[in-house]
Structure 1
């Protein structure tokens, strides 16, 4: 059973970018205590008593983290961590346990957990761990969105412009590109200018960096064209 349903009725319309903390623990008193703690500093909170309820819940497109108990009723939090990784659900995890040991902590951290807190823990330690996790996820989301915007810019290029970009990343001059593409140098300059504009590149170095992020390589014909004298 998932708690906090009244809050979910309102967050869809406002505060979509507000960080959210998902709490998964089969101990109701702990869930409620953590919910109150996180809400006291303005965080959005969703509470769950089973992994099934958590997986079925639609996730917000906002920085988030999962506060997860190591020992759930009938299942292992560590095994659930592995399941999330296999399903491609990227979310920083803060583990908590009343039965932790060194081996368990090492396994969780190697699998990507942000922190591992033994119960009882200080409220400030939990807040610090969650703050770190949310900051990390915020950076990941920003990087993902930046890459998506860059990919959209690349998709807006015409086939000719993409070919020019491919030659530019090899360091070829306009006259070399013109020869390789059987175009006039002025036409290549126009294509190159359009590529710079659409890719929002401040310089050739910036354009090359963006092409590397997108794994854009040189056209097949550049092998021959690149052998020409400069």
Structure 2
């Protein structure tokens, strides 16, 4: 993804906190980048954000809550861990509603902090893998011909091959060949694999893309 290495972005206006958390992350073998303000982090731009964000809530010109809102608007996939010395239930609930993944109240243990960060990084990696998978399956879907897409929709709707053959005005053997081609192009060995593949590519797009191509109704 864009060549940027995953990192833990630490935003805190307290230099001692930034330095101690950066050292802790480096001790854990994690790349850390520290910022003295929310504005400094935002100025780096979402194209450089990959990993997770750790931010204090109480800061100078822009609070951590405002930063959370801005980040979720620009890069909703970036997990955010909030830290505060003024924690209460209402504040935690608000942060979670705004999209925070975790909420730590000072004083927290190193173990709790590391667990929160690693959980956020795992979530980011999973989201990135799913996005790459969707992109690849979407690319494969684009290689399907119009006829293959119609057969695919028929499969997803549970139609028999002979029904699809009638609706498309082709032979049963042609439908069987198209079905085999669809399975091969989407990397599916069975129907359940095919369903999972089409869901990753966007099943709504597949159905809507082929639903306009209607044929005669089969005899009852």
TM-score range, shorter chain: 0.7 to 0.9
TM-superposition CA deviations, 1:180-205 (whole Å, max 9, x none): 11112212111111110000012123
Q: How does 1:140-219 map to 2 (within 5 A)?
A: 140-213=127-200, 214-215=202-203, 216-217=206-207, 219=211
TM-superposition CA deviations, 1:90-124 (whole Å, max 9, x none): 21111111222221112112323222222232211
TM-superposition CA deviations, 1:35-86 (whole Å, max 9, x none): 1100111101111112222123254585x11101101211111122112222
TM-superposition CA deviations, 1:14-34 (whole Å, max 9, x none): xx66x4111111111111111
Q: Cα 1:221–1:160, aligned 2, differ >3 Å: closer, same or farther?
A: closer
CA distance in 2, matches of 1:223, 1:105: 55
CA distance in 2, matches of 1:61, 1:29: 23
> Whose helix fraction is larger, Structure 1's or Structure 2's?
2
Contact 2:49/2:78 (<8 A) preserved:
no
Structure 2, unaligned stretches of length 5 or more?
A: none
Contact 2:82/2:100 (<8 A) preserved:
yes
Return 29-38 or 173-182, whichever deviates more: 173-182
Contact 1:24/1:67 (<8 A) preserved:
yes
Contact 1:180/1:221 (<8 A) preserved:
no
| Counterpart position of 1:115 | 102
CA distance in 1, matches of 2:110, 2:56: 16
The equivalent position to 2:83 in structure 1, one of 93, 96, 99, is: 96
Structure 1, unaligned stretches of length 5 or more?
A: 1-11
Aligned residue pairs, count: 213
| Counterpart position of 1:136 | 123
Using structure 1 for the length normalisation, give the TM-score. 0.83
CA distance in 1, matches of 2:196, 2:17: 48
Q: How does 1:3-152 map to 2 (within 5 A)?
A: 19-57=6-44, 59=47, 64-152=51-139
Aligned Cα RMSD in Å?
A: 2.3
Q: Cα 1:60–1:42, aligned 2, differ >3 Å: closer, same or farther?
A: farther
CA distance in 1, matches of 2:198, 2:27: 44
Using structure 2 for the length normalisation, give the TM-score. 0.86
